[in-house]
Amino acid sequence: MPSLLRNRKFRSATLQVLFVLAVMVILVSAVTTAQDTIATNGMRSGFGFLDRTTGVNIGFSVLQYDANSTYRQLILVGLVNTAILGILGIILAHIVGLVVAAMAISRNGSLNLVAQGYVELFRSIPLILQALFWYALVTHLPAPRNAHEPLPGLFLTGRGIFMPGLSVTGEAVALVLGCLLLGAIAFAWFMIDHRFRRISDSRRRTGRLVIIGLTLLACALALNAGRVPDMPLISVPELRGLNFRGGFALPPELTALAIAIAIYGGAYVSEILRAGFQAVPRGQLEAAAALGLRPLHVFTRVHLPMAFRAVLPTLTNQCVWMFKATTLGIAVGYSDLFYVISISITQSGQTLELIGILMLGFLVMNNMISFLLNRLNKAIALKGT
């Protein structure tokens, strides 16, 4: 026995086994205590409540939902709304961040000062305060009868932003967005992955056309299946009574949160991209200019791709953080996953089950973002790195 204790591998294995046993004991004890507490308070456990009707209404839903829908449908609505806000906020934040980063590295001193002021200002104000500010600003836009119309068919009101839209069901819109996302991922993978760079240019061109064609075909089939009968395909909002009818309405809660995440997250993304731009060797840019490339082509074909490759792991962490920031929707009444789970806990009393669903939902969505971006990072990484 003393000889075994002096063996480092035996001690290490013993400690690991004891640690695992301790964790299992803690988990079993927690589950047992929770079951006893539930039984003592006369509460029911399990997921049977998911098939019960909620009896509550929510403000915004892409999918079909009313007060007679089940908790299962309510949670699905929250998942879709969270995904819409997260993807929209991430895309807008990267657009804002790219513009600010380009200003920060430009040779124009005024643009440098503006970029620096933007980062210092919006990075220093908490995101929840920015969300409340933009929500107050959006809700104080004019009433529908006095709506601003910056573009034909686009109306800015305190009840939302109304624009032309397709006369299709919310399920069809969600399916089209999913098809576009999968098509964009497949296209990026085909263009970047090393294994497809070995094929001929004609086959690469054919592959790109096939991916684009299949994506457009899937979107067309989804729109055709979800088209509202006896309605024109494109619906334009029209003022009827005290509000607009027809078209697509972007609620003020979603608008305010998307703006807040885009501006706040864009400040961090700009600093990440600026660091990536500065990490590109100056000789690479001078070589591209010496070959006769225009400044715009040097930026888009040399500077930006090399910077993106250098900072993609950091951008992955930032994307996950921005997606988790969608939980602030409860502050302005946006019906995201956290909001509908809170309502469900109040209505049903199934706290443990619903908290578990909430954690599982964010675990799956955040890990999906990490997986896709990590695969992208692996595809564009240089050999040997």
Question: Would you say 188 and 308 are in contact if contact means Cβ atoms under 8 Å apart?
Answer: no
Say if residue 199 is in the same domain as residue 146. Answer: no
Overall domain count for the chain: 3
Say if residue 195 is in the same domain as residue 86. Answer: no
* Cα dihedral: 6, 11, 14, 15 (round 10): 140
d(Cα 294, Cα 132) in Å, to the nearest integer?
A: 43
Angstrom distances, CA of residue 260 to CA of 137, 257, 282, 370 = 12, 5, 35, 23
What was the pLDDT predicted at 119? 94
Say if residue 228 is in the same domain as residue 279. Answer: no
Say if residue 255 is in the same domain as residue 357. Answer: yes
Structural domain that includes position 6: 2-43
Please report, for the domain that includes residue 81, its CATH number: 1.10.3720.10
Say if residue 212 is in the same domain as residue 267. Answer: no
Residue 240 lies in a domain: no
Q: Is pLDDT at 1 greater than 70 in this prediction?
A: no
d(Cα 319, Cα 323) in Å, to the nearest integer?
A: 6
Q: Is 213 exposed, middle or buried (0-12, 13-18, 19+ CB in 10 A)?
A: exposed
Of the residues 235, 257, 279, the one at which a domain ends: 235
Distance, CA of 67 to chain centre? 27
Say if residue 202 is in the same domain as residue 76. Answer: no
Say if residue 383 is in the same domain as residue 297. Answer: yes
Question: Would you say 344 and 75 are in contact if contact means Cβ atoms under 8 Å apart?
Answer: yes
Give 38's pLDDT tier (boundaries 50, 70, 90): low
Say if residue 261 is in the same domain as residue 210. Answer: no
Contacts of 293 (CB under 8 A, 6+ apart): 301, 302
Say if residue 176 is in the same domain as residue 186. Answer: yes
d(Cα 338, Cα 332) in Å, to the nearest integer?
A: 12
Token look-up 């932003």 returns: 161
Say if residue 371 is in the same domain as residue 252. Answer: yes
Highest mean pLDDT among 122-126, 165-169, 202-206, 297-301: 122-126
Residue 48 lies in a domain: no
Average pLDDT over residues 55-65: 83
Average pLDDT over residues 25-34: 80
Residue 204 lies in a domain: yes
What was the pLDDT predicted at 35? 67
Question: Would you say 244 and 144 are in contact if contact means Cβ atoms under 8 Å apart?
Answer: yes
Say if residue 64 is in the same domain as residue 124. Answer: yes
Say if residue 107 is in the same domain as residue 148. Answer: yes
Question: Would you say 129 and 257 are in contact if contact means Cβ atoms under 8 Å apart?
Answer: no
Of the residues 202, 235, 268, the one at which a domain ends: 235
Token output for 357: 């669903």
pLDDT tens-digit readout, 283-341: 888 898 888 888 888 888 888 888 988 899 999 999 999 999 999 988 998 999 999 99
pLDDT tens-digit readout, 67-114: 888 999 999 999 989 999 999 999 999 999 999 999 999 888 899 999
Of the residues 195, 212, 235, the one at which a domain ends: 235
Q: Is pLDDT at 376 greater than 60 in this prediction?
A: yes
What was the pLDDT predicted at 5? 64
What was the pLDDT predicted at 270? 95
What was the pLDDT predicted at 191? 76
Range of lowest pLDDT (117-131, 198-212, 277-291, 340-354):
198-212
Average pLDDT over residues 115-122: 93
What was the pLDDT predicted at 159? 85
d(Cα 232, Cα 374) in Å, to the nearest integer?
A: 42
What was the pLDDT predicted at 103? 93
How does DSSP assign 199-256, residue by residue?
A: S-HHHHHHHHHHHHHHHHHHHHHHHHHTBPTTS-SEE--EEETTEEESSEEE-HHHHH
